[in-house]
Amino acid sequence: MHDHLQSLNNMQKKAALHMKGPLLVIAGAGAGKTKTITHRIINLIKEGISPDNILAVTFTNKAAKEMRDRILATMQNETQGQDSVPFISTFHSLGVYIIKENASLLGLTKYFNILDESDAISIIKEAIKESNLDPKQYEPRKIKNIISREKGNFTDMLEYKNRGDYMSQIAGEIWEKYEKRKSNENSLDFDDLLIKSVKLLKENEPVRKTYQDKWQYIHIDEYQDTNEVQYLMSSLLSAEHKNICVVADPDQLIYGWRGANLRNVLNFEKDYKGAEVVMLEENYRSTQNILEAANEVIKKNKYRPDKKLFTKNKEGEKISLYEAVDEGDEADFIATKILEIIDNASAQNSNNNSQKNSLSEIAILYRANFQSRVLEEAMLRYNIPYQVLGVKFFERKEIKDTLAYLRASLSPESLSDIKRIINFPKRGIGKSTLAKIFAKDTESLPIKTKIKINNFYKLLEDIKEKIQTEKTSEVIKYAVKKSGIEAELQNGTEDDLERLANIKELVTLALKYDTLPESKGVEKLLEDASLASDQDSIMLIEEKNSIKKAVRLMTVHASKGLEFNNVFITGLEDGLFPNRRDGETKKEEDREEERRLFYVALTRARHKLYLSFANFRTIFGSKTMNAPSEFIYDIPGDLIETEGEKVKTIYL
């Protein structure tokens, strides 16, 4: 047995030593699944498998980076002389890789544009108007979600449109126009990155064989979150050699609304005959009290394997429960408790960094985004540094404007990018002129307008030339200066100066792409920006020491994969968490997903959990009286300690 395996427990070793055939690893929260996959990959390499033949796929850039860093660090110590590395990426990045290598087969150019969520919704809004429909009645985001869900289920567009019901016909018509617009602009959305790569693998045998031979050992993380398209991608790539290892925790499936299918895990042994199953149940993250609460909560779900987490960690503090009068009282309690945590940390350690470190180890979780407002106000009132996860760096207007110049220079047919920047900074090009440009009818335009248009496209050509010859950071500096963005913001308001500072931060970020060959650096930056998730904003901000240490505010969904010493779970009221919309009665599977979501929230905590609910909460302008969440009742009373006045409704 290789030395690197000595740090694993028996079940982790069993998974790491498995080499041939299918393997299902059921890994509980905090059970060391990333460590296990890392050591399994290192073991394959030490046993003579080329890193080029190994693929590892996960769901977030953060998880992919963590896995890549661990593998590279271990390879340096354990596998001397290896130049190549395994291919480690998210599903969407894998889709981009396959599409780029086969762009001509898909009728795309090399520099296809990846639409982010807001850009995709903008095109759908235009498609709704083109269909003579009212965007207020047919809300673009809802239509986008319908299309995304059907694409995730690998549904054919025309088949969906012809289902016969009114909504399918309307959404199908918009979907059709949406696809046409994207095709004209050489653009793909997130769903296309999976759909098109899977269709290629399914329908083109030489392409499929190429990747099956390339990646003979496949690892899929968070397998419980795979939808139909991701399931197909996994099975198509592994069909030849059957060396597929999937890691899953059915108790953490929280994306059913996005198409995640629990059956992908439950049917794994049917799909892959002779599969070995390994259970990782030892938790290295949380205290015994936190785990006992989590186990008691989740055992009420029926659709799950028989699994119970245990730990050798200490018993730990009891779980605090606070009954608030209203959301303001709840926020005040959380803020004062955070100050208490910070004071205690400072008292225990006089090191200057102790307060900052305690801040970054605190998370406030909520079920719905609207809950953040009153919590943010409390953080400001008590002068507590905080960061809201979900405010993406790459979604800031000034960043999108800058990147649009780069994208448009590489792909001038990207009308969305042209529309965004052709009159920013102002060039005197109005909507009617823009319509003529898009209709390729510029002959009737005044000569001065033609000169402005020609100068704009000449600017794009100049930026493209720089992309081919200069480092990524220098390209951004050039684009910002030559476009006039720098001068526009420099001479503007305080907000404009802040936007310019953000662009300078983009230049700093781009330095890490400077090591790539000229145009490859810009291509990779644009790809990473398009695929950035909520959690990536944490990765980005943690590189900036000035804002690095702050309390994190986020939805429970966004917290998956993260962990903190102290976790506040707020808004534990019936109808809010578990969530119900407009008094609807949820199906059993929906109720189970809400319970899994609470389980995920509980298991983010290492040392201390705080639960809170409010008797009154104002939602959409109406104050409502609330009953405590059923989830609170699921936690044994001996694990709970009440904060403030004794909670009158739960444990009396």
Contact between 90 and 58 (Cβ < 8 Å): yes
Residues 372-386: b if buried by 16+ CB within 10 A, e if exposed: bebbeebbeeeebeb
Catalytic: which of 285, 400, 604, 617?
604
Catalytic: which of 252, 371, 472, 570?
252
Q: Is 221 a catalytic residue?
A: yes
| ∠ CA 118-120-126, rounded to 5° | 105
CA distance 362 to 339: 11
Computed from CA positions of residues 366, 370, 376, 377, in that sequence, does the dihedral angle turn out positive or negative?
negative
What is the dihedral angle through the alpha carbons of 232, 28, 363, 529, rounded to the nearest 10 degrees?
-20
Instruction: Identify whether 206 is preceded by a cis peptide bond (ω within 30 of 0).
Output: no
Half-sphere exposure of 433 (CA within 13 A, CB side): 18
CA distance 548 to 328: 27
Catalytic: which of 222, 327, 330, 592?
222
DSSP per position, 220-239: ESSGGG--HHHHHHHHHHHT
Place of tokens 């019936």: 574
Q: Residue 631 CA to chain centroid, in angstroms?
A: 26
Element (H, E) at 562: none
| DSSP label of 318 | P
Helix (H, G, I), strand (E, B) or coil at 309: coil
| DSSP label of 503 | H
What is the bridge-based pairing of β-strands 622-625 and 616-619?
Answer: antiparallel
Tokens representing 530? 């398009």
Q: Is 34 a catalytic residue?
A: yes
Catalytic: which of 12, 13, 34, 560?
34
Q: What residue type is 607 in one-letter code? A: H
User: Which one, of 346, 345, 390, lies nearest residue 364 by Cα?
Assistant: 390
Catalytic: which of 13, 33, 285, 427?
33
Q: Is 33 a catalytic residue?
A: yes
Other CB atoms within a 10 A radius of the CB of residue 48 amount to 6
Q: Is 580 a catalytic residue?
A: no
Contact between 552 and 363 (Cβ < 8 Å): yes
Residues 518-540: b if buried by 16+ CB within 10 A, e if exposed: bbebbbebbbbbbbbbbbbbbbe
Q: What residue type is 372 in one-letter code? A: S
Contact between 535 and 591 (Cβ < 8 Å): no
Catalytic: which of 119, 221, 228, 330?
221
Cross-strand pairs, 89: 57
Q: Which residues are within 8 A (CB) of 565 and not within 5 positions of it... i.e. 6 or more apart?
A: 358, 361, 362, 605, 606, 607, 608
What is the bridge-based pairing of β-strands 319-324 and 605-614?
Answer: parallel
Q: Give catalytic residues, as residue numbers.
A: 33-34, 221-222, 252, 604
